[in-house]
Amino acid sequence: MAHFSFSTLVRKAIGGDKDWPQQWAKPEPKSDYDVIIVGAGGHGLGAAYYLAKEHGITNVAVLEKAWLGGGNTGRNTTIIRSNYLYDESARLYDHALDLWEGLSQEINYNVMFSQRGVMMLAHTVHDVQILKRHIHANRLGGVDNEWLSPEEAKAFCPPLNISSKSRYPIMGAALQRRGGVARHDAVAWGYARAAAARGVDIIEQCAVTGILRAADGRVQGVETTRGTIGAKKIAICAAAHSSVIMDMAGLRVPIECYPLQALVSEPIEPAFPCVVLSNTVHAYISQSDKGELVIGAGTDQYVSYSQGGPLHSIEHTVAAICEMFPIFTRLRLLRNWGGTVDVTPDRSPIIAKTPVQGLYLNGGWGTGGFKATPGAAHLLAWTVAKDEPHPINAPYTMERFRTGRLIDEAAAAAVAH
Amino acid sequence: MLLIRCPYCEADRAEVEFTYAGEAHIDRPEDPSALSDAEWEAFLFLRSNPRGTHFERWYHIHGCARYFNAVRDTVSDKFLMTYKAREPRPTELEIADAKK
């Protein structure tokens, strides 16, 4: 792998940017692998990288039905934060945030991680109480999160409308300064390049159609649209297709899929310094480095794999954005798109062994998967390599829905997710 | 925006008049205290989540305020049919007819 640095950038620029090398190979699938990862998004590619780097397992293939990073990795609004209420969640997402901080150096690829701060607005007394509860819980858990008055919130984010006459007046905000955004495509590309450099095969246009089992029940490999491929272990990072793939192994999972839409405006001068989330009016917004405002809507209400959604959800979100940020009312929107989010009943993910020997699931991330990318990948690699969970992901089993040990961020969420 | 036919109103109405109410044909346990943990898990949390034909409940909240059932394709979001709450689950033949 050619090392990227400032000097390579300058040299290639002088040379007219002509001979940049291919960043990862496109191999034909081999007949057998130690580990097959299903799904080449950030989580799957990252898990392959950590398997190779931290556990010395390099005979790994990442199979992707469509193209690399084209699912939820390329469809989210790139927000990164870790100020969750419960200890289990705060540990999980803070582990990811720790890894985000060194990621560009780690994989020698600029993921444009920008810790510009994530601010959550309170519009009602109830919001104030919930956000303060989060802040206190986070402080006890060592996660940064602080309370801002409306004036302090305005100072941190000048476009904010804190007039007491607005329909949903702003009564304060919780700010996580370590939070921010990153370039989602670069995360997938960077992990792909770093994993491929350590010997991982990344195979696109290869849909898994069946899971092969030995007589004793353990996994043996997968049937794909490009033939049968053997594997000792299989890790599923298929997000919206978790249920479909687990069904191939005869397992039912507590996951349902919903559409989630996002949209971007035309690019404008830098005007918006941070990320703002509001649960009550249900909107989140940030400005990309290209200058587009990136706006996320809420999930739609019905089960769907359509990767689209109705216009009234967007209208609802845009109305909320215009109310909070009157300066954006005359902006034109450039495009909108949808992703399919895999949601569990308690809105916490599953990163665990399954009842099938050799089969592992990383799924159910709902709308919060991108922020966890390095953490989920790192923990999944550990779980697969050692055949037991890391202490951080030990609570995130499938069995918790039977035992009742839920991690109920659904009830605690500071934003619906 | 989906167009949904309410089987009580016998009219096609915009999605915003309705609320989704989860998977259909999941019966409440007749004797809850007799259920094992696994059966509770299945009743409360396990859903079919198919990529394809889905049986689901909708609530015509801004119309007749009644619950009814629907068969919808979860890839195209197309409604294949809707039917009243106590009517039996449509057969595969009926669904295949509706797809034509």
**Rounded to an integer, what distance in angstroms lies between the CA atom of residue A99 and that of residue A93?**
10
Q: What is the CA radius of gyration of chain B?
A: 15
Own/partner pairs, A268-273, CB within 8 angstroms, 24+ separation? A268/A292, A268/A293, A268/A331, A271/A159, A271/A327, A272/A157, A272/A159, A273/A116, A273/A117, A273/A156, A273/A157, A273/A158
- Cβ A254–B40 below 8 Å, yes or no? no
Q: List % helix, strand, coil for chain A (3-state, nearest 5).
A: 30, 25, 45
> What pLDDT is stored for residue A280 in this prediction?
85
- Cβ B37–A303 below 8 Å, yes or no? no
> What pLDDT is stored for residue A417 in this prediction?
43
Q: What is chain A's length? A: 417
The beta strand positions in A266-406, using DSSP E, are 275-278, 283-287, 293-299, 333-343, 350-353, 359-363
Q: Which residue, among A328, A338, A340, has the nearest Cα to A364 in the 3D structure?
A: A340
Residue written as token pair 């390099």: A58
Tell me the chain B residues in contact with residue A310 when contact means C-beta distances shorter than 8 Å.
1-2, 15
Task: Write the burial class of residue A355 (CB in 10 Å: 0-12 exposed, 13-18 middle, 19+ buried).
Answer: exposed
DSSP A375-393: HHHHHHHHHHHHTS--TTT
Q: CA torsion angle for A345, A350, A352, A353 (degrees, to 10)?
A: 50
pTM of the model: 0.95
The pLDDT tens digits along chain A (417 residues) read 788 999 999 999 998 988 888 999 999 999 999 999 999 999 999 999 999 999 999 999 999 999 999 999 999 999 999 999 999 999 999 999 999 999 999 999 999 999 999 999 999 999 999 999 999 999 999 999 999 999 999 999 999 999 988 888 999 999 999 999 999 999 999 999 999 999 999 999 999 999 999 999 999 999 999 999 999 999 999 999 999 999 999 999 999 999 999 999 999 999 999 999 998 888 899 999 999 999 998 889 999 999 998 899 999 999 989 988 989 999 999 999 999 999 999 999 999 999 999 999 999 999 999 999 999 999 999 999 999 999 999 999 999 999 999 999 876 654 444
- Cβ B76–A311 below 8 Å, yes or no? no
Classify the complex by whether its ipTM is higher than 0.90, answering yes or no.
Answer: yes
> What pLDDT is stored for residue A253 in this prediction?
96
> What pLDDT is stored for residue B2 in this prediction?
87
**Rounded to an integer, what distance in angstroms lies between the CA atom of residue A339 and that of residue A259?**
6
- Cβ B74–A241 below 8 Å, yes or no? no
H/E run at residue A320: helix A311-324
* pLDDT higher than 50, residue B40: yes
Nearest to B77 among A255, A304, A311 (CB): A304
Instruction: List, in order, residues 6 or more apart from A224 with CB less than 8 Å away.
Output: A29, A63, A206, A207, A208, A209
**Rounded to an integer, what distance in angstroms lies between the CA atom of residue B49 and that of residue A181?**
31
**Rounded to an integer, what distance in angstroms lies between the CA atom of residue A98 and that of residue B13?**
49
List the Cα angle A163/A167/A170 in 5-degree steps. Answer: 50
Residue written as token pair 């509001």: A278
- Cβ A303–B49 below 8 Å, yes or no? yes
**Rounded to an integer, what distance in angstroms lies between the CA atom of residue B68 and that of residue B24?**
9
Nearest to B45 among A302, A311, A401 (CB): A401
**Rounded to an integer, what distance in angstroms lies between the CA atom of residue A182 and that of residue A114?**
6
Q: CA torsion angle for A145, A151, A153, A157 (degrees, to 10)?
A: -150
H/E run at residue A208: strand A208-213
What residues pair up with A260 in beta bridges, in sequence order?
A299, A339
Task: Write the burial class of residue A408 (CB in 10 Å: 0-12 exposed, 13-18 middle, 19+ buried).
Answer: middle
Distances (CA, A) of A409 to A3, A349, A366: 41, 10, 11
> What pLDDT is stored for residue A413 in this prediction?
56
Which A positions 218-257 lie with beta carbon below 8 A of chain B?
241, 243-244, 252-257
Give SS3 for A71.
Answer: coil
Q: Which residue, among A146, A150, A148, A147, has the nearest Cα to A168 in the 3D structure?
A: A150
Which A positions 310-349 lie with beta carbon below 8 A of chain B?
310-312, 345
Note whether A370 and A239 are within 8 A (CB). Answer: no
- Cβ A302–B46 below 8 Å, yes or no? no
Tell me the chain A residues in contact with residue B19 when contact means C-beta distances shorter than 8 Å.
301
The two three-digit tokens of residue A174, written as one number: 């919780």
Tell me the chain A residues in contact with residue B36 when contact means C-beta distances shorter than 8 Å.
none
